[in-house]
Amino acid sequence: MDEVAGSIAARAERELRSLVGVSSPSGDVAGAEESMAVAEALAPEEARSERVACSSPEHAPDLILRLTGTGQGRLLLVGHVDTVIPHRAHRPLAVEGDRLTGSGTVDMKGGLVLALGALRALAARTSEFAEAALLLVCDEEWRTAPFTHVARFDGFDACLCFEAGQVTESGEDAVVVKRKAAGTLRVRAHGRQAHSGSAPDRGINALLALAEAAQLVAARHAPDGDQRLTAVPTVIRSGDAFNVVPGEGELVSDLRADDHRAFDAVCAGIPAELRGARMESELVRVWPGMDSREATAGLLARTGEALGRAVVPAGRGGASDASHFAASISITVDGLGPRGGGAHAPHEYILRDSLRSRAEVAAAMVHAWLTTSS
């Protein structure tokens, strides 16, 4: 395993430079196509490439790289090539002390490098599994459509997702086996325009209605409650001119909870009318939670034994495609990517030395799964 991890780490920085060099914000077809082409070039020669329809309309097709083996067990690796960084703000990879900075480094092109390395390692052990596949999607960062790939991998025995890794306060390697559900609540206000100087009271102010709706959402915020619900208004849009009472507007709020059903009460808490404006509320995105702590305990223990140091379970509030698979693939582990920070921000980075340490974790987990499934 040391040899496998060393091989992955030796190529990691160069491969990361190629992936981060491509600007690939969600929804950009050209950026997604170029990213998929880079991934295909870095995949093992034995892998069969397949382009499948993306869950989101008008996106580039997603990519599946498949290996066929002669053993038993089927393993799914998961990642995404899209970022939330627009072309105008894209930053290529740069070395800054102990950090590798650049757009999408930690979320999650650093993870893609390790996933591709794991796939190459699997290509050398085809007698120990029946099938291994790497799914790369191009719409993870802002998908509101239903996720279409779960049925495609029905019957797979394990799922490893390569979102960013982490360590405990005492420095132990951690992987993610519990995630909150995520939801996006959109509230639209329909008021009436009027001149804000000569006839302000003839209007119905959509902006004020949305401001009140934002307070109602925020009042549901209960991170210490039974469902650990967070309800955070994040975007408000209303008005076109400084001297016009705004007649239309929209509020967007980010919701997280242990159980996605907690979002229903937040949505229902917006009345049909506020300050005279007609209100429309809908959940435009609902992603399930994930809790695979019990099912993965054995795999984590065997991974630690193979690695020679502990690999411990952890939770995270952010959403991930792993959550979609966890309901049907009980052994689902996330957070196998390198460590870093600044996701979705100009200073996004990974820690340079974590490419090696997290390659060791990934290699040990693949080995632990293979020795159990074969």
Residues 107 and 341: beta-carbon distance below 8 Å: no
> What are the start-end ranges of the E strands in 70-129?
74-80, 94-96, 99-101
Boundary residue ending a domain (287, 313, 333): 287
- Number of neighbours of residue 309 by Cβ within 10 angstroms: 14
User: How many residues in the chain?
Assistant: 374
Q: What is the pLDDT of residue 317?
A: 83
Tell me: do 195 and 74 sit in the same domain: no
Tens digits of pLDDT across the chain (374 residues): 788 889 999 999 999 999 999 999 999 999 999 999 999 999 999 999 999 999 999 999 999 999 999 999 999 999 999 999 999 999 999 999 999 999 999 999 999 999 999 999 999 999 999 999 999 999 999 898 999 999 999 999 999 999 999 999 999 999 999 999 999 999 999 999 999 999 999 999 999 999 999 999 999 999 999 999 999 999 999 999 999 999 999 999 999 999 999 999 999 999 999 999 999 999 999 999 999 999 999 999 999 999 999 999 999 987 899 999 999 999 999 999 999 999 999 999 999 999 999 999 999 999 999 998 75
Tell me: do 111 and 187 sit in the same domain: no
Tell me: do 283 and 294 sit in the same domain: no
Tell me: do 64 and 111 sit in the same domain: yes
- Four-residue CA torsion sign, 295, 298, 302, 307: positive
Q: Report which DSSP code applies to 261.
A: G
Q: Which residues contact 155 (CB under 8 A, 6 or more apart)?
A: 74
Q: What is the pLDDT of residue 374?
A: 59
- Number of neighbours of residue 84 by Cβ within 10 angstroms: 17
CA distance 304 to 265: 42
Return the structure tokens found at 12: 């990691």
Tell me: do 67 and 203 sit in the same domain: no
CA distance 337 to 354: 9
Boundary residue ending a domain (234, 264, 287): 287
Tell me: do 48 and 120 sit in the same domain: yes
List the domain range (segments joined by +) for residue 219: 181-287
Boundary residue ending a domain (237, 253, 287): 287
Q: Report which DSSP code applies to 127.
A: G
Q: Is residue 315 within a helix (H) or strand (E), and if so which, with residue range?
A: strand 311-316
